[in-house]
Amino acid sequence: MLLIRCPYCQQTLPELEFTYAGQAHVARPDAANKQISDEEWRDFLFIRTNVKGPHYERWRHAHGCGRFFNAVRDTVSDRFLITYKVEDPRPELSDLLEKSE
């Protein structure tokens, strides 16, 4: 079982308390201020990266504090490089890889 650190609870807890919630940092197009093409909507709604390796993704501490948070997980080894709060900036992958070595 994976052990996942919840950035809100500040505890490392079993995977069964969490649910996966898809790719992180998918920004909605700014439709209020400019014309959005069909291709941009398609990309926002359906196109995901399907990374082999470190993947920025969302998780939810469903059976705990209930909060969504972001994580970087290696999809090959299932190793979590970092978990961080949704309001925190996206960490650079090169920094994370450096730190994990």
Partner 1 sequence: MTVLTHAFTPGPLVSGGAVSVNLMAPIGRFSVRVRESGRDALGAAIGLELPTRIGARTKNGNREVICLGPDEWLLQTGAGETADITAACAAIYAATPHSLTDISAREITAKIEGPAAIDLLTIGCPRDIDQIAVGDGCRTVIDGISVILWRDGEASFRVDVWRSFAPHLLGLLQTGSAELSA
Structure-token pair, residue 50: 């399907």
Q: How long is the chain? A: 101
**Residue 21 touching partner 1 (CB under 8 A):** no
* Interface pick for partner 1 out of 5, 11, 23, 84 (rule CB under 8 A): 11
10 contact partners, CB below 8 Å, separation of at least 6: none
Nearer to partner 1, 18 or 56 (CB): 18
β pairing state of 19-23 and 11-14:
unpaired
* Interface pick for partner 1 out of 5, 13, 29, 97 (rule CB under 8 A): 13
* Interface pick for partner 1 out of 26, 36, 51, 65 (rule CB under 8 A): 65
With beta carbons less than 8 A apart as the criterion, state whether 54 and 8 touch: no
| Positions that interact with partner 1 (CB under 8 A) | 1, 8-11, 13-17, 62-67
